[in-house]
Amino acid sequence: MDTGKRIVPPRLGVPDEALALYVHIPFCETKCPYCDFNTYAQIEGLIPDYVAALQHEIERWGALLSKPQTNTIFFGGGTPSYLPVHDLGHVMSTIREAFAVDSAAEISLEANPGDVDPERAALLRAVGFNRVSVGVQSFDDGLLKMLGRRHDAKTAMGAIRNFRDGGFDSINLDLMFGLPDQSLEQWANSLNMALELDTEHISLYGLTIEPNTPLEVIVEKGDLPEPDADLAADMYLLACEQLEAVGYLHYEISNWCKPDKFARHNLVYWRSGEYLGVGPGAHSYVGGRRFETIRSPRQYVEALRSASDLPTESDALAAMKQIGIIASGGPDSDRQQAADFLMMGLRLSEGISSAEIETKFGVDFPTQYQDEIKRLHASGLLDFAEDRYWIPHDQWLVGNEVFSQFVELDTTSGG
């Protein structure tokens, strides 16, 4: 019998109401065999035109949305650190002109370990980046080779030090687990190396074999084994134990941070705040509407090059559609938005607020989802107190079971 008084998990700071800005950089020096992101190798000749197109898109959005406030900017990809620093600086200057960038904004850059020496790190800091996310993935040279990464463990360690020396005091380190042929011991070693580097934030991702990737073919041919799901679960649990033992806060299913060093930009996504994505294949959620930019970098550049006239539409999304860079998008139903809010928010230690769902989407969560709540609570997969609902920490490994209940409910109810 459940008699204990439940302690509501603490909030992860005040929610950010401003528009988060994501900038997509679709260039990589080589394509990793497991990657299905919208990114390309050997199209470097397009970089100058791409930077001009990106600046053009940013200017247009800034004008159409009346110079919106932004508190977080994230350059992702692809490999943003592969671009010349002066190009990144030009894009940053355009953003500062087109958007009202808060003086304390978090401005992040995804970086490949091989792309940075101390001088370059200092230059990146000088053009405005104050947080960096380094794609280390593993500290085992054999596994890095298997993943098709161009760096080795020594380069990865050097990269973190270079960013420190270059003035970055907010560094995230990405590691992957559940790799083919990865042993628990190799994983423990990578974790220890990461802990030694003492970064402010750590993201851990289990490998999924994505359809139509070279890695899928390699595994299907039997040249590498399928990742072992039980072993991957053990790796995740080991990480939970070790990171928390040294003081990292496990605040999202795949993310840990030192006190108050949350990824502010990602928190906007997880809390279903509004964000604008610029660049090919970028996703946006603005004014209750989700939309995606066309995926081809060449078509994107062409569309913006020929869009010299001012759009005749006054609605921002319609105006950008007129230019031809929006692939899809439209208003989501309140119920769809509520389901997205649930799925994203339940990834966080703070969980979600039913009062917020009611205010934002007009959905009475405790009533409309009562059967699911009852069933999940009875299986220990969901807890609640006051107006908050969360997945207990010891159930995060099976969080997908909780999310799927709400997705199924949304798609089958027709409500």
Name the token pair of 360.
């934002």
Please give the residues from 297 up to 356 whose contact with ligand SF4 meets the rule CB under 6 A.
Answer: none
Residue 111, token pair as written in the block: 């970086």
79 binds ligand SF4 (CB under 6 A): yes
Minimum gap (Å) between residue 208 Cβ and ligand SF4: 13
Task: Considering the complex, state which of residue 112 and residue 155 has its C-beta at the smaller distance from ligand SF4.
Answer: 112
Tokens encoding 409: 């409910």
- Chain positions 40 to 59 lying near ligand SF4, rule: CB under 6 A, are none
39 near ligand SF4, rule: CB under 6 A: yes
Angle subtended at Cα 277 by Cα 271 and Cα 283, rounded to the nearest 5 degrees: 75
Minimum distance from CB of 220 to ligand SF4 (Å)?
20
- Shortest spacing between CB 79 and ligand SF4, in angstroms: 5
By CB under 6 A, is residue 111 in contact with ligand SF4? no
Determine which residue in the list 8, 9, 31, 206 makes contact with ligand SF4, applying CB under 6 A. 31
Nearer to ligand SF4, 41 or 237 (CB): 41
47-55, 76-84, 155-163, 314-322 -> range binding ligand SF4 (CB under 6 A): 76-84
CB of 38 to ligand SF4, least distance (A): 9
The one segment of 49-57, 71-79, 343-351, 383-391 that binds ligand SF4 by CB under 6 A: 71-79
Sheet holding 383-385, edge to edge: 352-353, 388-390, 383-385
Cβ 26 to ligand SF4 shortest distance, Å: 9
Q: From residue 148, how far is each of 24, 186, 211 by CA, in Å?
A: 22, 18, 17
Spatial separation of the C-alpha atoms in residues 9 and 249, rounded to whole Å: 12
Question: In whole angstroms, how close is the CB of 76 to ligand SF4 at the nearest point?
Answer: 9
Q: Does 155 bind ligand SF4 (CB under 6 A)?
A: no
Name residues contacting ligand SF4, limited to 116-145 (CB under 6 A): 135
Nearer to ligand SF4, 79 or 138 (CB): 79
Among 18, 20, 25, 28, binds ligand SF4 (CB under 6 A): 28
**Residue 178: CB atoms within 10 Å:** 21
* 77 forms part of the interface with ligand SF4 (CB under 6 A): yes
Q: Which residues pair with 40 in a beta bridge?
A: 27
Residue 35 touches ligand SF4, criterion: CB under 6 A:
yes
For the bound state, the minimum distance from the C-beta of residue 83 to ligand SF4, rounded and expressed in Å, comes to 13
Residue 226's CB is within 10 A of a number of other CB atoms, namely 10
With respect to ligand SF4, which residue has the nearer C-beta, 112 or 284? 112
CA distance 259 to 256: 10
Min CB(194)–ligand SF4 separation in Å: 18
Nearest alpha carbon to residue 390 among 98, 10, 93, 99: 10
Closest separation in Å from C-beta 327 to ligand SF4: 20
Q: Between residues 34 and 396, which has the closer beta carbon with respect to ligand SF4?
A: 34
For ligand SF4, the binding residue among 32, 159, 176, 282 (CB under 6 A) is 32
Closest to ligand SF4 by CB, 101 or 160: 160
d(CA 399, CA 150): 33
The answer to the question of residue 180 lying near ligand SF4 (CB under 6 A) is: no
Give min distance, CB of 91 to ligand SF4, in A: 18
Supply the minimum distance, in Å, between the C-beta of residue 73 and ligand SF4: 19
Q: Which stretch binds ligand SF4 (CB under 6 A): 43-51, 72-80, 118-126, 278-286?
A: 72-80
Residues that bind ligand SF4 (CB under 6 A): 28, 31-32, 35, 37, 39, 77-79, 112, 135
